[in-house]
A = this chain, B = another copy of it.
């Protein structure tokens, strides 16, 4: 096969890039830090989006759309927020080009300078709360449960396909509530939505937790997250949900009349996941032969490769498979019959392994005579011969089985790679091994920073429902009430 993939043992990072590029998921663009999401990659995003959107709607949210541009002064209204986002943003300063009078092509028209610069949104809290000010007057206008699907821009210096790009696609939920309690419940509810989505659809086990103060979203009182383990043992933050308190309501003066007729500031949450999840999906499951996609997110779930000589045999096979394909399509399964006569079956097999199609069916004239068909599953690479008559039912069950198996495999891998460290020496040794470390920490940002400086490990989260136990901080030796999760992370 022409497209060779670097082995993940040889170079994990190159293996990942090979999968993205050769699997046809994305491509580099001519714009620094921006990628092109190719149709196959976008097909995965569409499935993610549809599944998440359905969950958002089930939990009472509606979609809306707010401006791409944020007036520069808006960013400054929330002090912590501007610190977090001002360093990495695209700034629009002009609104017109003109022909260079000296013949140098097209140049920026100096007369078309904006009075106030516009920032391309890195996140939309400010522009949205500026609207909420007009929409919220009384407790009867609350809760306001709005989500937005959009592109955002953060001028990252070191970028990686899907994982960290200057522009990315995401959804951002922004909700407004009349009480702190209700906002916290919403924050937790959406974390659960994300965790359930990761587990059910991405076959990706996640740890639900809270971030330390250091790692919080700029402007949040509390940031909840889900953390997943990649196959190299590093952590990947797969979604965050923020309790924003009254910070943005105060910054944009959003008050409501409560039932007692008194003015109060509104309580806020925000939460988001992005195309970064596609990076997580690839790194959690794939192997040296290519992508392994969970059936629920695979753009193509089943491919049929006919083994034939000449058009007559091809037609015979197609006629036999047509009702089976119709039956599968009726069950909502995407299936393709690959009749290309320019490629050999072996080449096709490798190509569909590369692109992670969960089930491959191969069938030739002799199979038809025998009433059988060859079934290959991508996750385990097992092959078996199955009865042609009941193949549609078999495929439906096998897709479910693959989905479950991928989750179980990832869960087993993760659980085998979480270790307790009880001394600093243990910690230093373990952090060079793949996996997460469960260790005591004294609760101070200083210790957290120091550990990061010495080992590149960060505190991924303080797990929810974390067992309480007395211990000593792994680094400072000071008393601690619970262990937290340390890891190197994407």
Q: Give A residues with C-beta under 8 Å from B.
A: 27, 29-31, 34-39, 42-43, 45-46, 62-76, 82, 86-98, 105-106, 108, 117-120, 127, 130-131, 134-135, 140, 146, 150-151, 153, 155, 167, 169, 342
Task: Give bound CA distance, A87 to B112, whole Å.
Answer: 10
A75 to chain B, nearest CB (A): 6
Query: Nearest B residue to A34 by beta-carbon distance?
Result: B67
What B residues does A69 contact at CB under 8 A?
A: 31, 34, 90, 167
**Contact among B72, B76, B94, B131 for A27, CB-based, below 8 A:** B131
Task: Give bound CA distance, A117 to B37, whole Å.
Answer: 23
Q: B71 to A97, Cβ gap below 8 A?
A: no
Q: B66 to A29, Cβ gap below 8 A?
A: yes
Known interface pairs A29-B131, A30-B71, A151-B151; A64-B38 also in contact (CB < 8 Å): yes
Q: Would you call the interface of chain A mostly helix, strand, loop, or mixed?
A: mixed
Number of copies: 2
Task: Give bound CA distance, A120 to B118, whole Å.
Answer: 12
Q: A169 to B65, Cβ gap below 8 A?
A: yes
**Contact among B62, B68, B97, B167 for A91, CB-based, below 8 A:** B97
Query: Nearest B residue to A93 by beta-carbon distance?
Result: B93
What B residues does A169 contact at CB under 8 A?
A: 65
**Contact among B36, B63, B68, B167 for A34, CB-based, below 8 A:** B68
What B residues does A35 contact at CB under 8 A?
A: 67
Q: A67 to B134, Cβ gap below 8 A?
A: no
A297 to chain B, nearest CB (A): 15
Task: Give bound CA distance, A36 to B128, whole Å.
Answer: 9
What B residues does A108 contact at CB under 8 A?
A: 72, 91, 93, 117
What B residues does A72 contact at CB under 8 A?
A: 97, 106, 108
**Contact among B96, B106, B127, B155 for A155, CB-based, below 8 A:** B96
Task: Give bound CA distance, A34 to B38, whole Å.
Answer: 29
Q: A106 to B29, Cβ gap below 8 A?
A: no
Task: Give bound CA distance, A46 to B108, whole Å.
Answer: 36
What B residues does A66 contact at CB under 8 A?
A: 29, 36
Q: A39 to B62, Cβ gap below 8 A?
A: yes
What B residues does A140 contact at CB under 8 A?
A: 342
Task: Give bound CA distance, A131 to B24, whole Å.
Answer: 13
Task: Give bound CA distance, A458 to B29, whole Å.
Answer: 40
A460 to chain B, nearest CB (A): 28
**Contact among B31, B63, B86, B155 for A71, CB-based, below 8 A:** B31
Task: Give bound CA distance, A27 to B342, whole Å.
Answer: 55
A131 to chain B, nearest CB (A): 5
Q: A87 to B97, Cβ gap below 8 A?
A: yes
Q: A73 to B105, Cβ gap below 8 A?
A: yes
Question: Could you jot down 13 A-B contacts, CB within 8 Å?
Answer: A27-B135, A29-B131, A30-B71, A30-B74, A36-B66, A68-B120, A68-B167, A75-B97, A76-B106, A91-B97, A93-B94, A93-B108, A120-B120
Query: Nearest B residue to A65 by beta-carbon distance?
Result: B37
Task: Give bound CA distance, A231 to B46, whole Å.
Answer: 37
**Contact among B31, B39, B82, B89 for A63, CB-based, below 8 A:** B39
What B residues does A118 contact at CB under 8 A?
A: 31, 90
